[in-house]
Chains A and B, each alone.
Chain A
Amino acid sequence: MMIPEDLRYTAEHEWVREEGGKVRVGITDFAQDALGDIVFVQLPEIGAKVSAGDSFGEVESTKSVSEIYAPLSGQITARNEALSDSPDLINTDPYEEGWLVEIQVDDPAQLSALLDAAAYGELTKG
């Protein structure tokens, strides 16, 4: 299971990559593997306000559906429109091509409260 060192993680299996005040968010390799083939993705509109810990979308596979939770509070600035036609990008490339949304974070200090790769790795061993 791939867990890149340079990302931050949530216990709900989202990853977060900081890019100058904004963060890019996706679901982890562990999460996509557990879900199986992803066939639909529902994402919030650009401009939507999200609060840390709240559900803001869904990722649905052939066999189940999983909610996506905002890792940080802020405003949606971009969403991965490619997922509309190719939701399988989440399965094939969860950390790059399969990203979900970008969030302009209200308080960048929140980021340090998220899990690092080692801590997330421990969590997925459970």
Chain B
Amino acid sequence: MTLLMSPLHERHVALGAKFAAFGGWDMPLEYAGGGVLKEHTAVREAVGIFDVSHLGKARITGSGAAGFVNATLSNDLGRIKPGKAQYTLCCDDATGGVVDDIIAYLHSDDHVFLIPNASNTTEVVRRLREAAPEGLTITNEHADYAVLAVQGPKSADLLAALGLPTEHEYMSFETATLNGVELTVCRTGYTGEHGYELVVPSADALAVWDALFAVEGIEARACGLGARDTLRTEMGYPLHGQDLSLDITPVQARAGWAVGWSKPAFWGKDVLTKEKADGPKRTLWGLVAQDRGIPRAHMQVLAGDEVVGEITSGTFSPTRKVGIALALLDASAGLTEGSTVEVDVRGRRAAMTVTKPPFVTPSVK
């Protein structure tokens, strides 16, 4: 399979990036002179810029677009006003499993923009189209836009230096112009820091990238998807395909806050409502290693000799300097915050403490 390339690919090559495949796209994992730790620290302490153009983009327009999204995706769009974005889930109607997790941008009652995950965009669009009433248009605009995530405590200063809006509240967006380029500035991110995601027409991506790195007095570091993963894991943010999937429901993943339970309809409502009432058979928890040893996805979690769960995401926390993980733990094991479990790390038992994420205090606001 040929990998798709970001419109910023040549910049990453010039910066000596190592590349990896993400959802069918050839994206930078880390940069020469950087590396996961430096890039991670840049975002926690200053500002980092990520190319996340592999993320999907889809648009739903026509009379009643927002109503249609509200009757299919999980979260309640009625909770937000136009100009705001919302984390929501596309669940399978029959099983309640998660087809994808998505940020929905509410432009108006007749216009909703979605950012799904790269590898799930086609399927999300297919499901929406199949269900859409006459008069709605659903377009897959995956390659039409680049997305640049500008994240970290100095992100506002960086954008302000370019005359871009920065004062809008968390999870809201504004359109703006930069050197004649029209772009959307969203107060969103996947790092737990104050930050922005810029949605830019692909043809203008190079100009916007260059402008961000040309700001004098604020040194932004190019950050790869390796650091994005350690940053999001420290926040306990789920990654679809690992912590959320068709086999993992929002009730199990503790993503019930992203479900509009009282809405008349959304995909998976019946099965998820029942699971919520009965109590899920397993739940997503955080684990923190008590000594050396880094938990990794798919490792088994044990209590005594009994397997009680599985790691869904695990890494080294650059901020806490310890192994951290998200793990699905069986409800029947009776584990709770503060319980000690063991993780099978390549045949060795590593003791870990059960905890509630985040692992590092977020400062998104």
Q: A residues within 8 Å of B by Cβ?
A: 36-37, 39-40, 42, 58, 60-63, 65, 88, 91
Contact = CB atoms under 8 A, between A and B. Distances in A.
Contacts, number: 38
Secondary structure of the B contact surface, majority rule: mixed
Nearest to A67: B346
Nearest to B345: A65
B294 interface: yes
B294 A65 contact: yes
Contacts of A42: 292
Q: By CB atoms of chain A within 10 A, which of B30, B294, B321 has the most?
A: B294
B316 A36 contact: no
Given A36-B30, A40-B316, A62-B226, A91 B294 contact: no
Nearest to B226: A63
6 contacts: A39-B316, A40-B293, A58-B346, A63-B315, A65-B346, A88-B37
B230 interface: yes
Given A62-B230, A62-B318, A63-B226, A36 B294 contact: no
Closest 6 CB pairs of A and B: A62-B36, A37-B37, A37-B35, A39-B316, A37-B36, A62-B316
Contacts of A91: 35
A65 B318 CA distance: 16
Nearest to B292: A40
Nearest to A84: B292
Contacts of B226: 36, 62-63
B35 A39 contact: no
Contacts of A62: 36-37, 226, 230, 315-316, 318
A104 to B, nearest CB: 27
Given A62-B315, A65-B296, A88-B37, 9 more contacts: A39-B37, A39-B316, A40-B294, A60-B294, A60-B316, A63-B315, A65-B294, A65-B346, A91-B35
Interface string B6-29: 000000000000100000000001
B36 A63 contact: yes
Could you say which of B36, B315, B346 has the most chain A C-beta atoms within 10 Å of its C-beta? B36
Contacts of B230: 62
Contacts of B37: 37, 39, 62, 88
A89 to B, nearest CB: 14
A62 B18 CA distance: 15
A69 to B, nearest CB: 15
A34 B321 CA distance: 21
A36 B292 contact: no
Nearest to B37: A37
A39 B226 CA distance: 14
B228 to A, nearest CB: 12
Nearest to B20: A63
Contacts of A37: 35-38
Contact of B36 (A36, A40, A60, A65): A36
Interface in B33-60: 35-38
Nearest to B316: A39
A42 B36 CA distance: 21
Contacts of B29: 63
Contacts of A61: 36
A65 B315 CA distance: 11
A103 to B, nearest CB: 23
A13 B30 CA distance: 22
Contact of A36 (B35, B293, B321, B346): B35
B223 to A, nearest CB: 13
A37 B37 CA distance: 7
A30 to B, nearest CB: 13
A65 B347 CA distance: 14
Contacts of A39: 37, 294, 316, 321
